[in-house]
Amino acid sequence: MPVKLIVAAGNWESKEVKCTFTVQANEVTLVAKDRSKQIYELPAGTTQVRIVATPIPPSGTKKSPFWETIVALVVASNGTVTPRAGFAPWIVLTQATGATADATLAMVRVSRFREVTHRVLDLLKVVPGAGQPRQGDAPTLADLAATYGKWPPDDLDIHPLLGGYYLDGANPVKAGGILNFAKSPVHVDAESIVVELAGVEAPRLFGVVWPDAVARKNGAPPTPFFFYFRQTGEQDIKNVFVGGAVKGDYPYNLDYAERCLFEGQHYPATQGFRGTGRVLRAKGVPYQVTRSGTKAVMVFPVANAIDRIGYGVLSNFDEMGRLLADLQAFMFWNVGMAVPPSTVGKTALSAFSSGNGPLARFLTNNRASSFLKNNITAVYFLDPPGVKECVDAGLEWRRTMGKDKRVRLYSARIESGFHPHYRRLLGLKPSDSLPSPPYLLNAADNKITMALFPTASWDRVYKDLFGKDTKWGYWSAHHFVPATALTHALSQGDI
């Protein structure tokens, strides 16, 4: 009896995704015996089958929200069909029923994500140099090499850091008004990759750092996630992203790869979070997350530098939840696990500088979001220029969706106009006094944090740690906040 395959495609939930199919038996392309049902009959002697599922764009659109999937099958002499080694998570084989009970149903899994790590790594190798001068403060090859110890990097792994300095999560400010840092080696045991999201204007790329401690196995619990939203890009657009002799459209050029991914995930080669220049300010997020003891998958979305496009689909928090479920499934399938969790876990969001504006708007505009209510547990505002908007959004979120929601704001801004909002966040009266900075205060049973780490406090840190006199400007303090404060924020048990 000939072997018959009924070919279909579905997402991680096994919901059908319309596709066109190419089916080859021993490298010979087959024609469906029944096109309406996609039934293929394998010729006698077939030992190998290759199926290409190409998603069809929805009506009225040009791009599908799913990527093409290729799977390979092996046909035994008795007609039994099984996935070739490595393809099992990407196809589900079951016996058909009813009128087609003599056929095997082959459900190809398609994903909204695909891995593009090597493509991004290649982008980091080409830095405009002689004859192609960088504009403004856009980093040169020499700048990058001096900051990170070498350039280009060999890989995107988060390598052990033996001499980093980390804010003490339990005692961040010590006697004498000095921020409390301790030197500590940190090993980030994790897989670091870059994935591309299909069918959207932005964000198209996401850096993903998946710790080994977050299980990827059948029967695993829902995955906890942590987002890092960097500053918006249009303010730099003449020098980087589309300027400064860099080549390539969004998101595939050096500046998107270096500034939006590598910079957020790494520290400088020496002294942990040390500042180097105006724009090369590495944030070391995975080191901070690991040092905090938090076990969560880190996600680094690459926004379009045109701010009206920006973070795009992530402005809808329910869509964010669906994307994380797709990402979770993709990452499980990639390690051979066919059954990802049916939901995602707790999620925390952070934003730095101008990125806080979109985050505050997203909180306000998603008041009906079930993902915001049920999954997003904490929001961290890292030195926002619009303190009022962030405090408004955070407090309203807690008022409407529960007092267990966590809001933590870390600032370097000492202007008098900000202090009323610092008080409001802490639930203080307008007449209540605040301590002299630096300070870190908690309220609402440690569900709220307000920290003020101004420029002078960083001068004292460096004198305390290294015995050196420094005279940092505000912009250094501005970048030191996200490079250090996440260790404290995530050590509070929010995820």
> How many Å apart are CA 162 and CA 160, to the nearest integer?
6
Residue 142 falls inside a structural domain: yes
346 and 372 in a common domain:
yes
Please report which confidence band the pLDDT of residue 134 belongs to, taking 50, 70 and 90 as the band edges: confident
> Which phi and psi angles does 91 have, rounded to 5°?
-155, 140
pLDDT given for residue 137 in this prediction: 76
What pLDDT, on the 0 to 100 scale, is given for residue 271? Answer: 67
In this structure, are strands 406-411 and 347-352 parallel, antiparallel, or unpaired? unpaired
Domain boundary among 110, 136, 165: 110
Residue 8 has pLDDT above 70, yes or no: yes
Same domain, 269 and 340: yes
Alpha carbon dihedral 287, 292, 293, 294, in 10-degree steps, equals -90
Looking at residue 394, what is its pLDDT?
A: 98
Pick from 110, 136, 171: which residue ends a domain? 110
Mean of per-residue pLDDT scores for the chain: 94
pLDDT at 187: 96
Q: Are residues 88 and 130 in the same domain?
A: no
Instruction: Give how many domains the chain has, as a whole number.
Output: 2
Least confident piece of the model among 273-277, 299-303, 348-352: 273-277
- Domain assignment of residue 151, yes or no: yes
Share of the chain above pLDDT 90, in %: 84
* Same domain flag for 179 and 242: yes
432 and 411 fall within a common domain: yes
Is 80 exceeded by the pLDDT of residue 58? yes
Do 197 and 80 sit in the same domain of this protein?
A: no
Closest CA to 150 of 269, 327, 282: 269
- Asked if residue 130 and residue 101 are part of one domain, the reply reads no
Does residue 495 sit within a domain?
no
Query: Does residue 442 lie within any of the structural domains?
Result: yes
Residue 137 lies in a domain: yes
Check whether residue 324 and residue 216 sit in a common domain. Answer: yes
Residue 308 has pLDDT above 90, yes or no: yes
Quick one: pLDDT at residue 71?
Answer: 98
Count other Cβ atoms within 10 Å, centred on residue 24. Answer: 16
110, 133, 148 - which closes a domain: 110
pTM of the model: 0.96
Confirm whether 340 is domain-assigned: yes
CATH number of 45's domain: 2.60.40
Which range has the worst mean pLDDT, 29-33, 274-278, 484-488?
Answer: 274-278
Residues 49 and 89 in one domain: yes
* Residue 460 belongs to some domain of the structure: yes
72-126 residue pLDDT tens: 999 999 999 999 999 999 999 998 888 778 899 999 999 999 999 999 999 999 9
* pLDDT score of 272: 64
**74 domain-assigned:** yes
Structural domain range at position 410: 117-490
| Residue found under tokens 């004498």 | 176
Nearest to 301 by CA among 291, 289, 293, 313: 313
Instruction: Give dist(CA 288, CA 167) in Å, integer.
Output: 9
Same domain for 279 and 412, yes or no, is yes
pLDDT tens digits for 142-189? 889 988 999 999 999 999 998 889 999 999 999 888 999 999 999 999
Q: Minimal CA–CA distance to 410: which of 317, 321, 288?
A: 288
Of 72-81, 96-105, 247-256, 377-386, which range is least confident?
96-105
> Same structural domain for residues 101 and 142?
no
Same domain, 135 and 61: no
The DSSP secondary-structure symbol of 192 reads E
